[in-house]
Homo-oligomer: A and B are copies of this chain.
């Protein structure tokens, strides 16, 4: 038996090396239904061939660009159905771009604050340390990297919007 007709199928370790996705992560993607369960060998080992390897590379690439798992799920579903209009895919990418832009702006403000903390030459004792000083008093910050934390007397209606989960890259 076993005529080796298809593109050669590789075990999970090789798929991991080829894609740059760790072995447990590949299994995790299968578990959450992002990757279809691949064929198994006699000894119950997963074997990945062309299509699945391409899917895995797609996922990896999308993750590197910071797309969430749910977004990738949608993108993969779209990819499987090439006749559909691609509005949804474009919207996902545009939304990600908007997020990235916002994040960059935010980080640039942070960078400036941090630079001013560390760049002010002389430090020596904690009691006179600019780092500690600024952290203790946001008033010393040049830019409002956040809306001020409701100084005594008034109360903000809502907490600051904080993103969930981590983002690669």
Chain A residues within CB distance 8 Å of chain B: 17-22, 54, 57-58, 60-62, 64-66, 75, 78-79, 81-87, 89-90, 92-94, 96-97, 100-101, 103-104, 106-111, 113-115, 117-118, 123-129, 131-132, 135-136, 138, 145-146, 149-150, 152, 155-156, 159-160, 162-169
Which of B84, B106, B131 interacts with A93 by CB under 8 Å?
Answer: B131
Q: Given the complex, which residues of B lie within 8 Å of A114, measured CB to CB? A: 65, 93, 96-97, 100
Work out how many copies of this chain go into the complex: 2
User: Among B101, B124, B163, which residue has its beta carbon within 8 angstroms of that of A168?
Assistant: B163
Q: Which residues of chain B have C-beta atoms less than 8 A from A54's C-beta?
A: 136
A125 contacts across to B, CB distance below 8 A: 82-86
Which residues of chain B are near A129, meaning CB under 8 Å? 78, 86, 89-90
Chain A interface SS verdict (over half):
helix
Q: State whether A20 and B149 are in contact (beta carbons under 8 Å apart), knowing that A79-B126, A83-B126, A168-B162 are contacts in the complex.
A: yes
Asked whether, in the complex, the Cβ of A20 is within 8 Å of the Cβ of B62, the reply is no
Nearest Cβ on chain B to A18's Cβ, whole angstroms: 6
Q: What is the distance, in angstroms, from A63's C-beta to the closest C-beta of chain B?
A: 9
